[in-house]
Structure 1
Amino acid sequence: MTTSATTPRPGDQLASTACGTRVVVIRAPADAHPQLACGGEPMVPAASVPVVKDPGSGTTIGKRYVDATGTLELLCTASGAGELTCDGAPMTIKTAKPLPASD
């Protein structure tokens, strides 16, 4: 999933090999090959990694993480101590869109 030859696709489930973080790809660019990592180690298909309980504070379950350009979005399904990165840059928690004012 994270090699330069493959592209994450929406619905892919990925896991960290450094901590208990697990994510689902919500949105991904079709024309790019982002390098996803957590805790400094590449993310791999979740089916290849056993489930690990890791109550770390790096990622938060239920939060959506986006890259700097906003083209890659991940949903955290299991928390872990590692920090999510895309192409070496930290991913941030997606903020909610403000509701329109009703005057």
Structure 2
Amino acid sequence: MTPPVTTPRPGDQLASAVCSTRVVVVRAPVGGSVQLCCGGSPMVPATAVKPGPGGAAEAVTLIGKRYVDADGALEVLCTSSGTGELSCDGVPMTVKAAKPLPASD
């Protein structure tokens, strides 16, 4: 069994052990370890898990969306949707809000 990732770095590709969710780390906390989970199980390096069948009908994590932890230190981009909920240190991650474009007046 592959050990879970406890110190994610920008660029790391991670996969869920319980569903088809896959993410890429965009921003990671400096100098600390965090437990990134999906569906209650720790995420592992994407190379260690075969892609599972997609469950788009009941997807909780949405492809193309960015998810952040409560303090904004960890940000991931979902590259494959799945049925598990992303969490960081036991706290559910939220979808990052889009920044409004500047007015063109």
TM-score (norm 2): 0.88
State the number of aligned residues.
Answer: 100
2:15 matches 1:12: no
In structure 2, the residue matched to 1:82 is 84
- How do 1:1-103 and structure 2 match up within 5 A? 1-3=4-6, 7-55=7-55, 56-101=58-103
Amino acid at match of 2:59: S
Over 2 Å off, 4+ runs: 98-103
- Stretches of structure 2 that go unaligned for 5 or more consecutive residues are none
The percentage of aligned residue pairs carrying the same residue is 66
Amino acid at match of 2:18: A
**For 2:53 and 2:96, how far apart are their aligned partners in 1?**
24
TM-score (norm 1): 0.90
**For 2:52 and 2:104, how far apart are their aligned partners in 1?**
46
Q: In terms of mean alpha carbon deviation, does 72-81 or 49-58 score higher? A: 49-58
The RMSD of aligned alpha carbons is: 1.3
